[in-house]
Amino acid sequence: MPDSYAIDDDWNALYVDGEWRPAEGDETIAVEDPSTREQVATVPAAGEADVDAAYEAAAEAQSEWADAPPARRAEVIQDAIETLQSHSDEVIDLLTHEAGGSPIMGETSVQIATDQAGEAAALPRQMKGEHAASNVPGKEHIVKREPRGVVTVISPWNFPLNLSMRAVAPALAAGNAVVIKPATNTPITGGLLFAKLFEDAGLPAGLLNVVTGHGSDIGDAVAGHPESDMVAFTGSTAVGRQVAATAGENLAEQSMELGGNNAHVVTADADIDQAIDSATFGSFVHQGQVCISINRHVVHESIYDEYVDALVDRAESLPVGSAHEEDTVVGPIINESQRDEMLGYVEETVDAGATLETGGETADLEGVDDSLVVRPTVLSGVTNDMAAACNEHFGPIAPVIPFSDIDEAVAIANDTEYGLAGSVHAGDLGVGMDIADRMETGQVHINDQPINDEAHVTFSGTAASGVGGYNDGAILEQVTETKWISLQREPREYPF
């Protein structure tokens, strides 16, 4: 088992039933640092027998945990928060090595995860039911709220810490047990780190289990396990559809945040300086590897050229390089396939008639043969059907699309299968609100950018961007279920 939270500790074990144990087979998965391209850790490649053991442990431990006093469940979550905060520097370092996260990304991840766990710590006392009178004389109704049982968390690689915490902490707080299957690229910060955190926080054995492995080997076994009562997934829409179909065979509850193609609408009377500040952060933080990042800039034609020039200046000013450098803003893409796909979209878009204003290539890193760092990229003369605009490029790429009037801007923004997030910059807040109302997304931010996540505000998407929700009361609904009990206090008269 790991003795500390350092990347060079021994993470080569699964966590099942409160024990760090080897996988049934001998296969392992190498964890690569995206900045250096060097192997920094090894984790087990679990098999279906390991998955079964994890769910059996979870199911066995859950009923006793559901009966634990609310204060006890809240105490464990609070202890996990204290543990995370006391080891925050090490956790940020883990994110740098494993996810290629810059210091900004790491610090933000810890802050959001702390906020989410803090909100979850209040859930045990919010599991209140209802009482209602009946139409039948002498009868009353009681509706109780109970944990679902075993919650499956399939975590992503882009923000593995906070996007896992938003499901793990509420599930445990509500009295469930949890099985985590982390992304292959980030098995530590999306999975094994949680085992360490909650073990140190005193969570009873069996309530949190982590199985690392390839999705192609154990993905279906996790998503469709008979003991799984709810599946929380964050990832691409394509994979999400497969997970949903598999989980649906067991009629398991689902909360899924999937892909996005988020528009940043800028009107003619917007404050361009503020719009560019938002655009720079919303497009380039964590290399654009954010489901709610800006995928398309939709800008009024009267300010289009000024906007493009200003965005190019900002893009070219951003420090680019290894995530291990303190001043780096744009670091490495997670792996070659993601890098090559996004650069392919850029090439296709230019071939279709757009202009590459800056970027569109990798940045050399000293000592690295095949750099994963993509320079911040701005494309002008883009239409909504070009590759970098109609696909979720998931990179530091800013396609800028002109519009002539508000109706056209809304049509462009909505011309996508996704409905996750969006943003609007407008000098007239009434116009901004009108545009936000007409954007078909789960969330819109006026005079801001779309990367926002606060644990006390519901987070959800529409259309191909997912089902269910996270945060606030939405996640409580997902990880619990209701039970109706009626009480007939007087003899009831029946018609026969």
Both 45 and 141 in one domain: the answer is: yes
Both 23 and 124 in one domain: the answer is: yes
Its pTM stands at: 0.96
Both 247 and 271 in one domain: the answer is: no
Q: Residue 31: its pLDDT value, please? A: 98
Q: Decide if 492 is inside a domain.
A: no
Cα dihedral across residues 262, 470, 122, 120: positive or negative: negative
**Helices assigned H by DSSP within 285-357:** 304-317, 336-351
Which residues contact residue 37 at a Cβ distance below 8 angstroms, ignoring those fewer than 6 apart?
Answer: 368, 369, 370, 372
Q: Decide if 457 is inside a domain.
A: no
Q: Which of 197, 229, 192, 234 is nearest to 209 (CA)?
A: 192
Distance, CA of 331 to CA of 323 (rounded, Å): 5
Both 160 and 33 in one domain: the answer is: yes
Q: Read off the CATH number of the domain in which 275 is found.
A: 3.40.309.10
Both 239 and 300 in one domain: the answer is: no
Evaluate whether 324 touches 373 at the Cβ level (below 8 Å).
no
How distant is the alpha carbon of residue 166 from its chain centre?
8
Q: Which of 194, 193, 198, 253 is nearest to 223 (CA)?
A: 253
Q: Read off the CATH number of the domain in which 71 is found.
A: 3.40.605.10
Q: Which residue has the tokens 């200003």?
A: 310
Quote the number of domains for the chain. Answer: 2
Both 209 and 304 in one domain: the answer is: no
Both 192 and 227 in one domain: the answer is: yes
Query: One digit per residue, pLDDT tens: the chain, 496 residues?
Result: 798 999 999 999 999 999 999 999 989 999 999 999 999 999 999 999 999 999 999 999 999 999 999 999 999 999 999 999 999 999 999 999 999 999 999 999 999 999 999 999 999 999 999 999 999 999 999 999 999 999 999 999 999 999 999 999 999 999 999 999 999 999 999 999 999 999 999 999 999 999 999 999 999 999 999 999 999 999 999 999 999 999 999 999 999 999 999 999 999 999 999 999 999 999 999 999 999 999 999 999 999 999 999 999 999 999 999 999 999 999 999 999 999 999 999 999 999 999 999 999 999 999 999 999 999 999 999 999 999 999 999 999 999 999 999 999 999 999 999 999 999 999 999 999 999 999 999 999 999 999 999 999 999 999 999 999 999 999 999 999 999 999 999 999 999 9
Backbone angles phi, psi at 438, to 5 degrees: -90, -10
Tokens of 420: 């996750």
Q: Decide if 2 is inside a domain.
A: no
Q: Decide if 382 is inside a domain.
A: yes
Both 20 and 121 in one domain: the answer is: yes
Q: 365-372 long-range contacts, Cβ below 8 Å, gap at least 24?
A: 365/35, 365/321, 365/322, 367/36, 368/35, 368/36, 368/37, 369/37, 370/37, 370/336, 371/332, 372/34, 372/35, 372/37, 372/100, 372/332, 372/333, 372/334, 372/335, 372/336, 372/339
Evaluate whether 373 touches 330 at the Cβ level (below 8 Å).
yes
Q: Residue 1: its pLDDT value, please? A: 76
Q: Decide if 6 is inside a domain.
A: no
Written as one letter, the residue type at 398 is: A
Q: Which of 283, 353, 341 is nearest to 312 (CA)?
A: 283
Q: Decide if 3 is inside a domain.
A: no
Q: What angle do CA 382, 387, 390 make, to 5 degrees?
A: 85
Q: Decide if 111 is inside a domain.
A: yes
How distant is the alpha carbon of residue 273 from its chain centre?
29
Evaluate whether 210 touches 18 at the Cβ level (below 8 Å).
no
Both 195 and 286 in one domain: the answer is: no
Q: Residue 390: its pLDDT value, please? A: 98
Evaluate whether 361 touches 331 at the Cβ level (below 8 Å).
no
Question: What range does the domain containing 267 cover?
Answer: 262-446
Q: Say if residue 150 is exposed, middle or buried (CB neighbours under 10 Å; 0-12, 13-18, 19+).
A: buried
Q: Which residue has the tokens 């360490």?
A: 196
Distance, CA of 16 to CA of 48 (rounded, Å): 13
Distance, CA of 298 to CA of 305 (rounded, Å): 12
Both 211 and 330 in one domain: the answer is: no
Q: Which of 298, 335, 294, 345 is nearest to 315 (CA)?
A: 294
Burial string for 168-203 (b: 16+ CB within 10 Å, else e) reads bbbbbbbbbbbbbbbbbbbbbbbbbbbbbbbbbbeb
Cα dihedral across residues 374, 378, 379, 383: positive or negative: positive
Q: Residue 5: its pLDDT value, please? A: 96
Neighbours of 273 (CB within 10 A): 9
* Cross-strand pairs, 296: 263
Backbone angles phi, psi at 280, to 5 degrees: -65, -45
Distance, CA of 66 to CA of 376 (rounded, Å): 49
Distance, CA of 70 to CA of 280 (rounded, Å): 43
Q: Which residue has the tokens 């396990």?
A: 225
**Helices assigned H by DSSP within 136-236:** 160-173, 193-200, 215-223
Q: Decide if 278 is inside a domain.
A: yes
Both 93 and 210 in one domain: the answer is: yes
Both 92 and 137 in one domain: the answer is: yes
Distances (CA, A) of 273 to 298, 301, 444: 16, 17, 20
**Which residues carry out catalysis?**
257, 291
